[in-house]
């Protein structure tokens, strides 16, 4: 709240008699909490990073050299939505969901069925895939919501394999072959900007939600679910609401991918959709929502470069995950935010 | 006191494996009572609270609240009916400011129902409630991060979280323990005001002097059984109570 000082931990060995101190910038204190913002400088300080994010994403497609990298941006956008979904569920609802691939699969097949069988126009299919898919995911995982921590994680991780197995064994929904062509967006600019707009809506929308009363109840469930029950609120119902909101992002990703590739098949349940978002979330900064998105936007192109090396991609995720957990557990965005708000100086002790 | 029975407990028993934590307890509570519950450590006081509030399911027995059988109901349903409780082990929503902790109960269906629509500015209501239990608004204490609050304020925050639910019955599990004499001296009038405002209160407390001043009735638990039930002055003098409660441990805590 105030300009608290804090000694740096570890890092470089401090010279005798001196110590590195971190101080909050005066502006940070002025622009948060009880104070009112009343100068251009303060407004810029607050709005600057947000504006940078919006403008950066807006010009990004224009800066890409060719169609190939524009396609990579689309895929990265889908992963970024999954990363945001993971971050929101893990840090604001207390559900560690390791089953992103189940969301892409359910969202993808739901949307794909509308387009492929019923010839519904793609924007409506994607919308239906997102909303109905999220409802379906929530319904299917409803019985597992009382499970805690690792048990919920394991269960959600198994679901994509289960769904894939059912489709392959019964030969339904295209079985091993998959179904196509699914009439898609078929315009790279629409494909790029659709995912960018949805990303911005997801990040800013969720960041706003977690600060509002409904979001505070969700966070309450994460912090202390017994106190929430003692306050006359059903924990299961609250978690279900949170899961539905988180699944919207994941199911959109699946619905979008189907209309990007003009194809739907069991690859929608691929384990990459479960794992990469977690690495991205850890790398970008847990609990920041925007950080995991940035993480995915960095990690996906990197993994794309390694496409020729097959399984090496998994090694990349693993290395990023382990590296950040060990050396920078706060993640990129938390680190950047700290640098933005604080300065360091040496003081005598 | 009022004659309306607010809570009736019949033959309530809870066994954890071989341990009988609560043993065949009967209890009738009238509206506007302040009931003190005392007993040595491990005598089943917290388990009794957990049974009434649904956090633990009884092995045997019945709990009737305002004429409804609430035995075996889930905690949020019981809270929704109007029974609020504090937790002996406090875990506030650490990442939130103190007043934001009250947003959870203030968003509950019960509160929505009781105010008949919108509460207006929930933040303002939350700060008013915190002020009632002794958070100094002028010193910006309600705005402090919950994780940074000292023990005394955490206990008050627990109490405030209960009040925000607009309960009829409030069960306080050792809200005075760990507090300094000065802090307790400020809490006693708070409890008196809540009682004057019409609340029925069950207080589990080791601080007998303050408890006996507040309570109009006291029960004593020992090894899960109720061994005494009466007005404070009588209970104080009973031989079994002296033996069970004060005999072995001079200063129970
Ligand atoms: N969840 C539980 N599982 C097993 N035993 C328990 C549990 N909760 C309480 N007990 C046992 O029940 C007895 C009563 O405990 P408790 O109600 O916490 O006592 P008090 O609050 O009076 O100190 C103790 O012997 C305790 O070990
Ligand atoms: Mg206890």
More confident call, B242 vs B42: B42
For residue B161, give how far its alpha carbon lies from the nearest alpha carbon of chain A (Å): 8
Residue B3 predicted with pLDDT over 70: yes
- Find the closest chain A residue to B81 by CA distance: A232
User: What residues are paired with B200 via a beta bridge?
Assistant: B169
Atom 12, ligand 1: which residue's CA is nearest?
Answer: B21
A35 belongs to a structural domain: no
The pick from B19, B50, B225 for probing ligand 1's pocket by mutation, whose C-beta has the most ligand atoms within 8 angstroms, reads B19
In b/e form, how buried is each residue of B159-193, taking b as 16+ CB within 10 angstroms? bbbbbbbbbbbbbbbbbbeebeeebbeebbebbee
The predicted structure's pLDDT at residue A334: 86
Which residue range forms the structural domain that includes residue A114?
Answer: 40-345
A10 belongs to a structural domain: no
Q: Give ∠ CA B143-B146-B149 in degrees, rounded to 5.
A: 90
Q: Which chain A residues have a beta carbon less than 8 Å from that of B106?
A: 213
Strands (DSSP E) along chain B, which ranges? 5-16, 19-30, 34-38, 60-65, 68-69, 83-85, 169-173, 200-204, 217-222, 225-230
The predicted structure's pLDDT at residue A33: 52
Atom 16, ligand 1: which residue's CA is nearest?
Answer: B44
CATH number of the domain within which A294 lies: 1.10.3470
Task: State pLDDT tens for residues B116-129.
Answer: 877 788 899 999 99
The predicted structure's pLDDT at residue B246: 59
Question: Is B84's CB within 8 Å of A230's CB?
Answer: yes
For residue B178, give how far its alpha carbon lies from the nearest alpha carbon of chain A (Å): 21
The predicted structure's pLDDT at residue B249: 46
Could you give the CA distance from residue A339 to residue A322 in angstroms, rounded to a whole number?
23
For residue B191, give how far its alpha carbon lies from the nearest alpha carbon of chain A (Å): 20
Could you give the CA distance from residue A176 to residue A162 in angstroms, rounded to a whole number?
15
CB of A71 within 8 Å of a chain B CB? The answer is no
Pocket of ligand 1 (CB under 6 A): B 16, 19, 21, 39, 41-47
CA A335 to centroid of ligand 1, rounded, Å:
44
Instruction: Give the atom of ligand 1 at the shortest distance from the alpha carbon of B88.
Output: 21
So what CATH class is B1-82+169-176+197-253? alpha beta
A3 belongs to a structural domain: no
Sign of CA dihedral B43, B211, B101, A334: negative
Q: For residue B174, which ligand has an atom nearest its CA?
A: 2
Please provide residue B217's backbone torsions phi and psi, each rounded to the nearest 5 degrees.
-155, 145
A288 belongs to a structural domain: yes
> Would you place residue B2 in the very low, low, confident or very high pLDDT band (cuts 50, 70, 90)?
low
CB of B55 within 8 Å of a chain A CB? The answer is yes
Question: A–B: how many Cβ contacts below 8 A?
Answer: 86
Residue A29 CA, chain-centre distance (Å), reads 29
Question: Is A232's CB within 8 Å of B110's CB?
Answer: yes
Contact assessment for residue B40 and residue B100, using Cβ atoms and an 8 Å cutoff: no
Q: Give ∠ CA A198-A203-A207 in degrees, rounded to 5.
A: 145
The two beta strands, B200-204 and B169-173, are: parallel
Q: pTM (2 decimals)?
A: 0.88
A133 belongs to a structural domain: yes
The predicted structure's pLDDT at residue A14: 55
> Would you place residue B250 in the very low, low, confident or very high pLDDT band (cuts 50, 70, 90)?
very low
For residue B213, give how far its alpha carbon lies from the nearest alpha carbon of chain A (Å): 28
User: Would you state the structure tokens that stand for residue B148, as one six-digit string?
Assistant: 């940074």
> Would you place residue B45 in the very low, low, confident or very high pLDDT band (cuts 50, 70, 90)?
very high
The pick from B13, B23, B39, B44 for probing ligand 1's pocket by mutation, whose C-beta has the most ligand atoms within 8 angstroms, reads B44
CB of B120 within 8 Å of a chain A CB? The answer is no
Question: Is A213's CB within 8 Å of B53's CB?
Answer: no
Q: Which chain A residues have a beta carbon less than 8 Å from that of B122?
A: 213
User: Would you state the structure tokens that stand for residue B68, as one six-digit string?
Assistant: 């409804």
Atom 2, ligand 1: which residue's CA is nearest?
Answer: B16
Could you give the CA distance from residue B120 to residue B90 in angstroms, rounded to a whole number?
29
Question: Is B76's CB within 8 Å of A223's CB?
Answer: no
Could you give the CA distance from residue A204 to residue A196 in angstroms, rounded to a whole number?
12
A12 belongs to a structural domain: no
Tokens 């002025």 locate to A30
- Minimal Cβ distance to A220: which of B76, B87, B104: B104
Per-domain residue ranges of chain B: 1-82+169-176+197-253, 88-167
Q: Which chain B residues have a beta carbon less than 8 Å from that of A1?
A: 144-145
Could you give the CA distance from residue B8 to residue B64 in angstroms, rounded to a whole number?
5
A324 belongs to a structural domain: yes
- Minimal Cβ distance to A216: which of B75, B96, B165: B96
A241 belongs to a structural domain: yes
Question: Is B53's CB within 8 Å of A231's CB?
Answer: no
User: Lowest mean pLDDT: which of A13-17, A286-290, B31-35, B171-175?
Assistant: A13-17
CB of B5 within 8 Å of a chain A CB? The answer is no
Q: For every one of its 349 residues, what pLDDT tens digit does chain A have, with 9 covering 90 and above?
A: 333 434 444 445 556 777 777 777 766 655 555 455 667 777 787 788 889 999 999 999 999 999 999 999 999 999 999 999 999 999 999 999 999 999 999 999 999 999 999 999 999 999 999 999 999 999 999 999 999 889 999 999 999 999 999 999 998 998 888 897 998 898 999 999 999 999 999 999 999 999 999 999 999 999 899 999 999 999 999 999 999 999 999 999 999 999 999 999 999 999 999 999 999 999 999 999 999 999 999 999 988 888 777 777 778 778 888 888 898 888 888 888 888 887 777 777 7
Domain count, chain A: 1
Question: Is B104's CB within 8 Å of A226's CB?
Answer: no
């Amino acid at each position: 709240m105030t300009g608290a000082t804090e000694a740096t931990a570890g890092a470089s060995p401090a010279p005798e008699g001196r110590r590195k101190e971190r101080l909050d910038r005066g502006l940070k204190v002025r622009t948060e909490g009880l104070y009112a913002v009343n100068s251009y400088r303060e407004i810029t300080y607050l709005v600057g990073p947000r504006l940078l994010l919006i403008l950066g994403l807006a010009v990004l497609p224009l800066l890409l050299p060719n169609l190939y990298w524009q396609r990579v941006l689309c895929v990265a956008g889908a992963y970024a939505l999954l990363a945001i979904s993971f971050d929101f569920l893990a840090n604001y609802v207390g559900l560690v969901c390791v089953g992103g691939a189940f969301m892409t699969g359910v969202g993808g097949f739901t949307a794909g069925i509308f387009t492929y069988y019923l010839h519904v126009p793609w924007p409506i299919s994607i919308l239906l895939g997102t909303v109905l898919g999220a409802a379906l995911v929530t319904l299917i995982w409803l019985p597992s919501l009382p499970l805690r921590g690792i048990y919920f994680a394991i269960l959600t991780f198994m679901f994509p394999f289960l769904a894939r197995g059912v489709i392959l064994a019964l030969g339904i929904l295209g079985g091993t072959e998959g179904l196509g062509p699914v009439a898609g967006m078929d315009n790279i600019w629409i494909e790029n900007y659709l995912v960018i707009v949805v990303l911005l809506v997801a990040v800013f929308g969720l960041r706003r939600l977690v600060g509002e009363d409904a979001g505070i109840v969700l966070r309450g469930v994460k912090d202390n679910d017994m106190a929430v029950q003692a306050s006359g609120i059903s924990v299961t119902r609250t978690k279900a609401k949170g899961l539905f909101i988180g699944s919207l992002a994941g199911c959109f990703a699946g619905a979008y991918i189907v209309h990007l590739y003009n194809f739907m098949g069991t690859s929608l349940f691929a384990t990459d959709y479960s794992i990469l978002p977690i690495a991205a979330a850890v790398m970008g900064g847990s609990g920041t929502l925007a950080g995991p998105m940035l993480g995915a936007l960095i990690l996906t192109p990197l993994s794309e470069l390694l496409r020729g090396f097959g399984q090496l991609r998994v090694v990349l995720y693993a290395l990023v995950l382990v590296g950040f957990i060990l050396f920078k557990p706060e993640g990129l965005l938390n680190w950047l935010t700290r640098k933005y708000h604080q300065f360091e100086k040496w003081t005598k002790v | 006191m009022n004659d309306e029975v607010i809570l009736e407990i019949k033959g309530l028993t809870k066994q954890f494996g071989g341990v009988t934590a609560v043993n065949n307890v009967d209890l009738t509570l009238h509206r506007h009572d302040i009931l003190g519950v005392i007993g040595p450590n491990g005598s089943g006081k917290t388990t009794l609270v957990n049974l009434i509030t649904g956090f633990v399911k009884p092995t045997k027995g019945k709990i009737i609240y305002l004429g409804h059988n609430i035995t075996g109901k889930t905690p949020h349903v019981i809270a929704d009916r109007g029974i609020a409780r504090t937790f002996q082990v406090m875990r506030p929503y650490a990442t939130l400011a103190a007043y934001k902790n009250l947003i959870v109960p203030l968003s509950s269906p019960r509160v929505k129902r009781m105010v008949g629509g919108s509460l207006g500015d929930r933040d303002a209501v939350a700060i008013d409630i915190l002020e009632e239990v002794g958070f100094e608004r002028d010193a910006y204490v309600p705005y402090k991060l919950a994780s940074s609050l000292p023990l005394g304020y955490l206990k008050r925050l627990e109490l405030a979280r209960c009040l925000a639910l607009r309960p009829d019955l409030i069960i306080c599990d050792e809200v005075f323990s760990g507090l300094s004499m000065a802090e307790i001296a400020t809490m006693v009038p708070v409890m008196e005001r809540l009682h004057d405002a019409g609340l029925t209160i069950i207080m589990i407390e080791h601080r007998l002097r303050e408890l006996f001043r507040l309570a109009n009735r006291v029960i004593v638990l020992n090894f899960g059984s109720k061994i005494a039930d009466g007005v404070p002055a009588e209970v104080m003098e009973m031989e079994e109570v002296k033996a069970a409660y004060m005999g072995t441990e001079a200063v129970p805590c």
